[in-house]
Structure 1
């Protein structure tokens, strides 16, 4: 079970991710956008760290600092494209994904979307929740396979961030600054109000 500090950290990550996912706009790739250090692989943009390893919570915060999210593989096509990209870079790799069952054991949710994990490619006999402490999902690149495994959230793994919606057109200079600020502000305020109403009781605890 998470201690209080981890629970608060997880809640803040969830609120932040819901705001980001709901308020982002779709990609317009005909606009010249600077996506560095992200690289397009298949239909998404990825930042793959080679010298940085973090626990699951730190990894999620790291990706948010780049206005992105932890890796979420949602189809065979995404898996195959990412595997082809990672294979020449690493002999083997263990990296965190956004999926976890921190809220309800055995129910794997995406931190990015707040919805159940829609695509699974578990390794043999996984997930197994060893010692009842494996709540975060990693991907393991080994030999010619890419598989999923549940593991302890406190372990340090590589970090792969993704931008499914890399940069909205507010950053491209195409739209007026005032209009973009209005859209972003209204969206954020609306979602904050909804999230507050949904979670207000959490902060009204009695001993």
Structure 2
């Protein structure tokens, strides 16, 4: 009987994601997310995340993106949320600031990115939280991630 119980525990634990997140962070598929409750510029938000041993969110795939969008829809009615994607170094070449990798998965709204002085990327409420490029210096909400 004890070995059967042990087998069930092992099967159950291997079929789920066990994530130990700090207080106020939300766990999903091996990452922890903090939805900031103050508005900061892109680089101020990254600094805030770094102070919490995190970085601005790096969206790896549609599953993660859909989870974040669904959470944003139910959270607060704010218009924009920073993620860690920018083309500030080279216009039109977006990379993640946590590991300097190019964006492989994207979820741009139609007509985005539209360039100019908009070098950082947000989840935009007006686009049902699809992505849009946006001026880095404006103060907005943000999402931190610990992977």
TM-score (norm 2): 0.81
2:120 equivalent in structure 1: 136
Q: Secondary structure at the match of 1:62?
A: helix
Alignment of 1:1-207 (within 5 A): 29=18, 33=20, 35-50=22-37, 52-129=38-115, 132-142=116-126, 145-164=128-147
CA distances 1:59-84 after superposition (whole Å, capped 9, x unpaired): 11000000000012111100111122
Q: Cα distance, 1:34 vs. partner? A: 5.7
Cα distance between partner residues in 2 of 1:138 and 1:86: 12
Aligned residue pair count = 131
Q: Cα distance, 1:45 vs. partner? A: 0.9
TM-score (norm 1): 0.58
Is there any run of 5+ residues in structure 1 with no aligned partner, and where?
1-27, 165-207
Is the contact made by 2:80 and 2:125 (CA closer than 8 Å) also made in structure 1?
yes
* Segments of 4+ moved more than 3 angstroms: none
CA distances 1:109-130 after superposition (whole Å, capped 9, x unpaired): 100111101111111211111x
Q: Cα distance, 1:92 vs. partner? A: 4.3
CA separation of 1:122 and 1:29: change in aligned 2, threshold 3 A: same
Is there any run of 5+ residues in structure 2 with no aligned partner, and where?
1-16
